[in-house]
Structure 1
Amino acid sequence: MAKAFASQGDLTEKEISFTEIGEGLYAFTAEGDPNSGVIIGDDSVMIVEAQATPRLARKVIDCVRSVTDKPISHVVLTHYHAVRVLGASAFGASQVVMSEKARSMVVERGQEDWDSEFDRFPRLFQGHEEIPGLTWPTTTFEGRMSIYLGNRRVDLMQPGRAHTAGDIVVYVPDQNVMFTGDIVEYHSACYCGDGHFHDWPRTLEAIRRFDLDAIAPGRGDALVGRDMVNAALDLTGDFIRSTYRPAARVALRGGSLKDAWDAVRAECDPKFSDYAIYEHCLPFNVARAYDEARDIDTPRIWTAQRDKDMWEALQG
């Protein structure tokens, strides 16, 4: 029997945790669902990642209001994916920030991404009727910029391509804490369908050089303490390499995408099959690894129809 497409069969609500990872810094996590971050400044609050819908964003706001009544002034989006950005309107922030490259990806493929993710994650898009449209930034940057929430400085940086070409991280130097988006995951599969396998390990090492005290990853538990931080970086790197190498070996000898799928499963199933959204991500990951091995540098745009055709070919 064919497996339910992506996460269409995942209808169970996840338990939310709201964890302090530094003074005035919090990670909103939900058992492998997309995380958000909260940075409380002197006069206002910054949100990192907006969730998929205003309905989900309000769950983040409820947690914020449990610790502060300061207004939310900024929403920072680490990349363009629909499950990260389409809830932004709920926060009422005056500034919505992403990298210039991420904005260009909204232009290029934002609607297609929304349509495909909507079909993949029906539970996350409950209440989608409230989404006013694609989320557009008010501010973009290239390389690095700093935002001051009163005296608290927040550094936004592009450490390199990884989960997408437009990824950024959010670093709070006074606490040596970073919000990494989906560059780093913890006991959750990396979604690599728009990724850059060759660059991703170098980007992880650029993050490691900060010698961080805590990380809020894209999915999975908050990582407090350097042992957990380094474990997550190691696990994420292993996931990326274990996905790419068998797919690349197949592609470079002229094998089929289905051959690559079988090779990646043989490598990854024993190590990662219990990770959140593992089965969801695997077909997209294999397809992208197969393409990158054949020198397709820019990930092909996923559409709702391409999603289903690929899923049927590999899992039907």
Structure 2
Amino acid sequence: MTKTFASAGDMSEKKISFTEVGKDLWAFTAEGDPNSGVIIGDDSVMIIEAQATPRLANKVIEKVRSITDKPISHLVLTHYHAVRVLGAAAYNAPTVIMSDTARAMVVERGQEDWDSEFQRFPRLFQGHESIPGLTYPTTTFSERMTVYLGKRRVDLMHLGRAHTAGDIVAWVPDEEVMFTGDIVEYHSACYCGDGHFEDWGHTLDAIKSFEPRSIAPGRGDALVGPDMVEAAIESTRDFVASTYRPVAKVAARGGSLKEAWDAVRAECDPKFKTYAIYEHCLPFNVARAYDEARGIDTPRIWTAERDAEMWAKLQG
């Protein structure tokens, strides 16, 4: 009998934390569930990541309203994944920002991603009936743009491919704080099913070059202080490399996907098995690593049908 998705059985509510990572900068975290960020300017607020549904977005808004009554003027989406973007309608933000590449990925594969994510992670789609449709930005950019929230400057940048081809970060220079989306995780598995393994480390190096004092990562606790920032960046680097390295060896000798799976389990289980969403991410990570190691540069689109076929093959 084929097992269900590891995430399908994870229905327990997660404890929400709301941590100040710099002056008027906050990280909304929930024990490995998708994080959001809050940047408070002189006269308005920027939100980083929308959550999966308007109902879940309202939990972020409730925390924002506990500290400020300034209007939400900007919503920044670091990439296109459904669990990050489909709650956008709750914010009523006049400006919704993605990279050019991320918007193109919504067009190309947004509906398929929504369908497959909904099947994989039912708990993260509480109130899914309130989602009005795919989320499209009002504003896009290629490499870099700057937004001023009054005097507060926020630099939005595409530093390289990693979790997806269209990842962006938000850098707040007055406090030296970065919101990295899923390029950096903390005690949570990296989802690499749409990732670029060979580029990811270079993108981490680009983040590291800013010498952030704090980081709001994509999943896991807020990273406050240089030591915690360094530990999270290097742990993320190790996770990505430890996934790709054994797969590349298997692919180089013409080995099978199942052999790649066994090799990754042997290397990663001892180090990362206790990380949040590890079991959920693992088959998708191995499948994408196997493709990349065989020269497939653009991640293949995940569909609910492809998910189930791969899951049955590796987990059944």
Shorter-normalised TM range: over 0.9
Q: Within 5 Å, give how 1:45-194 maps onto structure 2.
A: 45-194=45-194
User: Counterpart in 1 of 2:237?
Assistant: 237
Q: Distance in 2 between matches of 1:43 and 1:306?
A: 46
Q: Distance in 1 between matches of 2:72 and 2:14?
A: 25
Q: Distance in 2 between matches of 1:6 and 1:148?
A: 42
Q: Provide the aligned C-alpha RMSD in A.
A: 0.6
User: Counterpart in 1 of 2:202?
Assistant: 202
The AA in structure 2 aligned to 1:50 is A
What's the secondary structure of 2:156's corresponding residue? strand
User: Counterpart in 1 of 2:219?
Assistant: 219
User: Counterpart in 1 of 2:303?
Assistant: 303
Matched-pair contact (CA < 8 Å) for 2:3–2:312: no
Give how far 1:126 is off.
Answer: 1.4
What's the secondary structure of 1:96's corresponding residue? strand
| Deviation string, structure 1 residues 208-254 (Cα, Å, up to 9, x no partner) | 01111000000000000000000000000000000000011111111
Q: Distance in 1 between matches of 2:303 and 2:207?
A: 31
User: Counterpart in 2 of 1:272?
Assistant: 272
Q: Distance in 1 between matches of 2:224 and 2:32?
A: 17
The AA in structure 2 aligned to 1:26 is W
The AA in structure 2 aligned to 1:245 is R
Q: Distance in 1 between matches of 2:146 and 2:85?
A: 21
| Deviation string, structure 1 residues 137-192 (Cα, Å, up to 9, x no partner) | 00000100000000000000001000000000000000000000000000000000
* Segment of structure 1 superposing worse, 247-256 or 27-36: 247-256
What's the secondary structure of 1:83's corresponding residue? helix
User: Counterpart in 2 of 1:15?
Assistant: 15
2:9 is equivalent to residue 39 of structure 1: no
What's the secondary structure of 2:35's corresponding residue? strand
The AA in structure 1 aligned to 2:238 is D
Q: Distance in 2 between matches of 1:141 and 1:6?
A: 36
User: Under a length normalisation based on structure 1, what TM-score does the superposition of the two structures give?
Assistant: 0.99
Give how far 1:42 is off.
Answer: 0.4
Q: Distance in 1 between matches of 2:248 and 2:107?
A: 30
The AA in structure 1 aligned to 2:289 is A
Q: Distance in 2 between matches of 1:126 and 1:135?
A: 17
Q: Distance in 1 between matches of 2:52 and 2:78?
A: 14
Q: Distance in 2 between matches of 1:115 and 1:249?
A: 33
Unaligned runs of 5+ in 1: none
The AA in structure 1 aligned to 2:125 is F
The AA in structure 1 aligned to 2:7 is S
Give how far 1:3 is off.
Answer: 3.5
Q: Distance in 2 between matches of 1:170 and 1:151?
A: 16
Q: Distance in 1 between matches of 2:41 and 2:147?
A: 10
Q: Distance in 1 between matches of 2:97 and 2:295?
A: 31
Identical residues among aligned pairs (%): 78
| Deviation string, structure 1 residues 35-55 (Cα, Å, up to 9, x no partner) | 000000000000000000000
What's the secondary structure of 1:8's corresponding residue? helix
* Segment of structure 1 superposing worse, 192-201 or 245-254: 245-254
Unaligned runs of 5+ in 2: none
Matched-pair contact (CA < 8 Å) for 2:113–2:302: yes
Q: How many residues align?
A: 316
The AA in structure 1 aligned to 2:253 is R
Q: Distance in 1 between matches of 2:4 and 2:132?
A: 29
Q: Distance in 1 between matches of 2:78 and 2:286?
A: 23
Q: Distance in 2 between matches of 1:125 and 1:195?
A: 23
Q: Distance in 1 between matches of 2:148 and 2:104?
A: 25
Q: Distance in 1 between matches of 2:315 and 2:248?
A: 20
What's the secondary structure of 2:260's corresponding residue? helix
The AA in structure 1 aligned to 2:102 is A
What's the secondary structure of 1:274's corresponding residue? coil
| Deviation string, structure 1 residues 266-291 (Cα, Å, up to 9, x no partner) | 00000000000000000000000000
Q: Distance in 1 between matches of 2:40 and 2:53?
A: 22
What's the secondary structure of 1:254's corresponding residue? coil
